[in-house]
Every structure is written in C-alpha cells, then in structure tokens.
Structure 1
C-alpha cells in the first residue's frame, strides 16, 4: 500500500509542530516547501521536498513551485474513478491525501505603514489558493486545512480512526472556499481602489465573524456581528470593552450611530442617544460640563440610553453617570478612579474607542434590501458656513450664528423628518421620524418650550409649506436654518420676514432614513 502523503506549506506556523508530529506518528509522509520545510526539519520532523515530487525546482523567486500536474493531479484525482487512477499511474503521480496550507499575508502587508503597490502584489498568493481549491473540490477524499484552529479536530479523528470523517472533510472544504473568496475579495478591493474604480460591476465584501449575538433586533431573531476584514480603528467593531455585559444587536447599532454624531464636534462633547436618535447633545469647556448639557437636554430620554464622550472620562463625570441607568458608555479613555466608579454597576457596558482615528477614510454605507443591497458614501460633508445664505431681511446675531452651526450639525443625525431646537451648546428639543415636517416641529418645540430664549431651529430638509415657520415664530424662535430648495421657498421667507425671524439656506440636505 502506498504511503499516505500530506502537503504542508504555511505562512502561519501556529500549532504546526504538534500537528506534524501527529502525522509522523501515523506514518504519513510530509511534503513541504521552502520556509515551511526548513522550519519542520529544524524541529526534527523529516520532510520531502516538493521538487522531488514535481521534478522542478522553484522558479521566479518562488512564484512558481507547486503549480504542477504532479501536485494538482494528486489532489484532484477521484478515488472512485478508474480512469483518474489510471492517469495517475501513467504519469507516475502519487496521491496526496492531506493538504495544510495558509496563504501569503496580503492583508497584513497592505495594513503596514508605507507599503507600495509592488510589495502588495508580491504578497498575492497564487499557488496556495490553487492547492486549497483543488483539495477542497475533492473533499470526498482529501482533508484540507486552512486554519490552524482545525489541527486538533483533524488530529483527534486521525488518532482515533486513522482517517477523517466525510462530514469533517466537507466542512473543512467549505471553509476553504470561504477563506479563498475572502482573500481574493481583499485583493480585488485593494486593486479596485488603486485604479480609482468607484462603481465596480461586482461588489465583493470580505467580513469576518466577530461575535454570535444572543439574538437580533427582537428575541426571536438570530443575529451575528461581522467586522470588516480590513478594520477601521474608529468603529464599534474595534472598540475595546472594559466592563459589562455582552453587546446586543441594538446596542451595536445605537453605539455606531452615537460615534458617528460625536465625530462632528471638536470641543469637549457628549452625545446621549436612544433608538438611533440623539436625545441630547452638549458641549462645554470640560467633559463634565458637556455631560451636564447633554443630560439636562432631556433627562427623561437619556435613561437606559447610550452616552459617548470625546474626552477622557474623569471622576466627577463618572459619578454623574453612575447615578443614572445607562446601557453603554463610550470614551477615548477613563481615569482609574472614574473606571472604578462606573464598574460598580456590573451590567453597564464600558467601551474604549481610539478617537485619534476618527478622520480616517470613511467607509461606504451598505443597506440590505430584499434581493439586493444599496451602497452609498457616508454623509460626511463638512459644512461650508461661509456659503450659507441669509434669505431674510433680518440677519443672525453672532450668538444666533453659533447656535445655528451647532443645530445644523445635530440635525444631520436625526431621523427624517428631522427638526432640532438648540442654543449654541445644547440641544433643547428634537423632533424625529415624523411623516410630516410640521409634526416634527411641534414635537421639538414642545420639548424645548421652557428654554426658547435665544433658541434656534434647524431642519434637515426644506419647508414645503410656510406653516412650520409660522408655528416656530409664534413659539418664540427667531432664527431658522434649512437647506432651501422648495418651489414654495418664497412663502417661507415672507413668513419669516413677517415675524422678524432670520433664516439661512445651506443648499445642502441631510435626510437620514
């Protein structure tokens, strides 16, 4: 009986020696290449060089070494077909029963600082994926391993039964194709970006599982959290959890919405968020002042919500947070005293986020629909305040101008139809997600009714009717900011002039569905 063979060629040597020793115990011959062969032999494990199988030495700086019929014929031959076995015999090719291969570190290469196109291309593996795919296609007979975490499973079955089960081989084969597909997707996206292709005819999205969630949006829905294979440091996927329960599906979505909002602000800022909408945004000279502003903006809705701070959380701020039930707290850091204070509540989720990375290239947004997916740029437009136009007779005061800037940053992140009432440092009333704009106006002004002195109003889209302007003016609003663009803009302008309200047009809409 011909001795069984295992082909091993890996860049990740984790767990390899122990696994190779198991193969040797079972009298399985190890065939290997280059650095892997040297690594194994330095540990006393006898190997056979690939060249002795193919009859050819490595060529072109190692670009060609395993792309040979003696390798791929040995992997692809069906054991149940006499014609395949006769072909092997005619060409003096011996079967390979096990393949253990992982690939050149392309992802790790392009993530390094200063890597150029030439170095990236040299780290595109060709022979490795080819061997993996050949072996995985023939999983009925060949055991293929791409992940070192699977060594113990294969070793256990071999030691117990001298062979792996068909079920295990099938699972490992499927894993190979997921692996090579993701590997190729990273390469495809890198090269697509390199040639500045904005709308490729095929969209390939490599994601890796971060966490299986207890459930999804509701308890009867299954859910899993996947992160981008090329991580964005400023993301919930890359947050470090310091304390508390496991994040839920809704936690993750809300936390993502919160960190998108806070990146708009340079000064110390706190965003309180509930159900994908901000319920309070506050700024101040310190993070403590900002928290007080965010909390007092809506002390009812913040209960059970998410708080994100763009400065280190100190003890005074932590004490205020500790007095309240919060689901999640996110910050760039925490003093030791602040962390100890917050950790007294065992369930609060405390996350640390690298805010220094918040100006990275912004990832596209992807939204699933039945039968497809929508992809768009994030709404990351930086407002050109000097391009805003005052369309009314009365011009904004300096204080109103500052408040209008703050308000327009805030309204951008409220679900449409969106209305926000603010002063220069704090949201006062938020009307979100109504089917008509005047409904949102009424909600925001009702919430802000005791704090309207010096308040301004922002709308995410134009006012199609003048009724919203009149309602706001009658409640005491004296400054409004909106995109403009309605065919009935003049009616809104005339209504603003009637009540002495200043109104700015930005010419930029910020719908958020």
Structure 2
C-alpha cells in the first residue's frame, strides 16, 4: 500500500473534520474540498484547495452538481498499475485521489421528522453516494471514510504506517461504505413507497425484497438461555408499539417479553372500548372490555387467574391508580399502556422487576404492513392480518338468528380468536373471555380445551358464544359445544362438510354465523 498523498473531503456532518484535516496536512496530504467543508477548513487556517478551482468548473443548479466531474472520478477510479489509466490522468491534468472522506445529507433524519416532500427530495444525496461507491470499488487504491467514528482508526493507522492504510482496514471501510449506501437507498425507496400509498404497494410483491434493519440492542438471551438474541428496528416503517415504547421501570425486556408485549398490545388495539388483555407465551389467556379500564382489567384477569400469573398486561387506556393496586397484588412481568396516572406509576414502581412500558397512541393508525416468517434459506412474506372484518359480509346459516346479546358476544369472541394460535377456539360472553383453547393440532381438541379452561376457573358456559379461527371439518365440535351450553357459534365456513355442521347447529338450536374469512396464526 502506498502513502496517502491526496484527499477529497466533502461532509455534511462536520464533527471532528477539522481535527482530521489538520492531521492530514501535518502528514503532508493535499486536501481538496467543497462548499461548506471548504469554507470551514479555510476559516480554521487549514491549507485546502477548492474543488471548483481544481476542476475548473463551478458548482451549479443550487449545489445539485458539485463533485460529478471526470477530474474527480477519474482520480478516484484510476488504477496505478494500468499504464493507459495513468496516461489519461496525465493528459487531462487529473490528480490521483487516495482518500475520500464523505458523509451524506441527513435524509433519514428528515424523513423521520416527516419533513415536506420537496425538502426531502433535495436531501437525496447524489454526488456523495457516487463518491462513496467509486472509492469503495477502488478500495485497494483509495480509502473511503464515511463516518466521523472512523477518523481515529484512520489516523492511528497512518501514524503507525507512515501515512499508509492496511488492506484489511481498506476492505472494512469499503464494506461499511456499501452498507451505508444500501441503507440510504432503502430509506429513500421507503419514502417513495409511502408517496405511492397502500394500494400501489398491494398490487404485487417486489421481484427483489430488500430489508433494512438497524440494531437497537443486544438481549440477554433468546427464547432460551442458550440462544443469543438481538433486537432490530425495521427502517422506514410506521408505528411499532414496542420499539416506540418508553420504559419507565424494570429490567431490560427479554426476547419473550417483547413477543408477548407486542401480541398483547396489538390485541387491545382491536377495540374502541376500554380493553385489557393478559398474554402468556404469545397467546392471550384473558381479555375483557368495559366502560372503564378498571373493570376491563378485572374481567381479563378473572377469565383465567392461574394462567395470568407471570403474564404480560396490555391496556388501551390510561392506567389508573385503582388498576395499579390490582396489578401489584399479583405477579406480572410487563405492563404496557398508552399513559399512566402519576400515582399509578409510583405504585407500580414498588414492584422491583416489573417492566413498565408507555406507548403513546398519537401517531397510531391502522396501516398496511408485511408479516414475515424466516425459514432456513428463505423468507415467507404475506400481508399482515390486520384489517378489520366487515360484519355486513357475515352470513347467518342456521335456522335461528343470534339474539342481540349473542351478536355482541360473537363479535367480541371473533376479535379475540384472531390473536390465538391455531387451531384456536374462544369461549366468551359480551365483554370477556371465559375459556381459550389454542395451538391444538385438532379443532375438536381446541374446543375441549377452551371448555376445560372455562370450567377450571368456575365459569358457567351456558349461553356463551364460541369463535373458531378456521372452519369445522366435522360436526363433533358443535356437539361438544352444545354439551357445554354454547348457544351461538361463529366460524369462517368453507368446509366440504358445512351442511353437516349447519345441521348439527340446528339440532342443538345453536345460532351459527359464517364470516367467510379465516384467521389462522
């Protein structure tokens, strides 16, 4: 590796650039610079060449074109061992550039601040990205530095190696350069996707799916202590309950805490009324709604106090002192709510290890997003099952129409069953779950489990509603539900034995509703 003799510095983020430039001049490096960077270095008394003087061409189009010139890119991309390249440089008076120090316009920051479209367009960096890619491509002969955090590494190597930089460091910097431009482009692509809107996004899946995730934090471990784990944020996405949350108190969230808290909060967001949910192992064990959040929590907790122990609580209303007192009377891992009364927060903090999360709902809106499942060597992508169902599309297929109270219970149970692992069954009345059976390989087993859970907590199941996330393949589930006193059932329909199931419902005088929409999880 040869000594660095000429550097091009053009940075938006000026942090520590003066120190770097002084170091380079002390090492005998000639510096070429642009615009604001040139002005700053000149003001600090550093000998620097204006890029326009070097190229003989001024900045044009209000700064849109600064560095896009053959005297710049020829100097970066030329290969010293290629005689024709070096002859071309000499013919056109082009200096070989050995170091490029560039960082980009802050498009991402402005995008997150929801700046106007016109402003964002002007923050799409063209010259900077081009410089970075050119230098990274020719990393053996041109060092590319894209972050102030890399300055110390660069200076230390140049001190130790008499102005030279090792091939390994050059390769590491080049890799970071391409990672940066890839990330930058992904954010801009997300910006344009947002302009096009949901309907355009839904038309087709992209031929190449580029994902961009930024590391948030390392976790203590994964689902089990022997598994390493980390949390990432998907760049350019909208509302995320957990990643938008402020943690008031408690230990760091675990891998399982994050999964359960996300599931619990997603469920309560289904309801306009005050709603509470308690989740264990990614599935709800109790859900309640009421005119106030205290009663909603009590209904959710009393649905299955045994399973609720050590669970995650989610509320869609401000957590009050009365609710806090009830929570602290038992053991829970996490509580998540949109706001807290001050006294309630102080009460909850008495529980040393209780994680307390606040998720403001100011920016929350239901919007399209993709659900992704990793498989070995691949990725399954689907539209998230997030849109509200339209009850006007449902069909009563039994001889008997549901009563008003049964309709209320069916709608409630249908909203909840959507968040239970398939095969999923929910037993409920109008405002609370009584028994939940999820994750069973057969649907009749899920029915049996839901009934068993309800009875184990002393709940009377006569006059209840039952929701199933998928169709019933046989009449056995209806017969079993009837034995427990269920009077109304809601399911997608679509089985080749639907007639058999409808006949069973009529025999038991059960109101049966087909939603024509499945909710497997």
Shorter-chain TM-score: what band? over 0.9
How big is each residue's C-alpha offset from its partner over 1:373-398, in whole Å with a ceiling of 9 and x where there is no partner? 22211112212223322222222222
Structure 1's 90 and 218: CA in aligned 2 closer, same or farther, altered over 3 A?
A: farther
Matched, 1:471 2:480: yes
TM-score, normalised to structure 1, is 0.92
Aligned counterpart, 2:169: 168
Residue 49 (structure 1) aligned with residue 58 (structure 2): no
Structure 2 residue runs without a partner (length 5+) = none
Deviations along 1:312-351, one digit per CA (max 9) or x if unpaired, are 2222222222233222211112222222222233332222
Aligned to 1:504: 513
> Is residue 462–residue 487 contact of structure 2 (8 Å, CA) maintained in 1?
no
Report the more deviating stretch, 344-353 or 302-311. Answer: 344-353
Against the structure 1 CA distance between its residues 114 and 22, is the aligned structure 2 distance closer, same or farther, given a 3 Å change threshold?
Answer: closer
Name the residue aligned to 2:469. Answer: 460
After superposition, the C-alpha distances for 1:60-116 in whole angstroms (9 at most, x for unaligned) are 332322122221222223455565445433433223232221222333444454723
- Number of the residue aligned with 1:393: 399
Structure 1 residues 429 and 210: alpha-carbon distance in aligned structure 2, compared to 1, 3 A threshold: same
Q: 1:34 is matched with which residue?
A: 35
Partner of 1:66: 67
The answer to whether the 8 A contact 1:8-1:32 is kept is yes
1:43 offset after TM fit, Å? 4.3
1:236 paired with 2:242, answer: yes
| Closer, same or farther: CA 43–426 of 1 in aligned 2, 3 Å | farther
> Deviation at 1:425?
1.5
Q: TM-score, normalised by structure 2?
A: 0.91
Q: How many residues align?
A: 511
1:3, 1:29 within 8 Å by CA — same for their partners in 2? Answer: no
Contact between 2:3 and 2:164, CA under 8 Å: does it hold in 1? no
Long gaps (5+) in structure 1? none
- 310 and 192 in structure 1: CA distance in 2 versus 1, 3 angstrom threshold: closer
The one of 254, 263, 272 aligned to 1:266: 272
Q: What do the CA deviations read for 1:249-283 (whole angstroms, capped 9, x no partner)?
A: 22222222222211101111111111111111111
Which position in structure 2 is the counterpart of 1:355?
361
Partners of 1:152 and 1:323 in 2: CA distance: 54
Residue deviations 1:115-136 (CA, integer Å, cap 9, x gap): 23x5444332221111101111
Change (3 A) 1:334 1:73: same
Match of 2:215 in 1: 209
Distance in 2, Cα, partners of 1:88 & 1:310: 67
Contact kept in structure 2, 1:232 and 1:238, CA below 8 Å: no
**RMSD (Å) for aligned C-alpha atoms:** 2.4
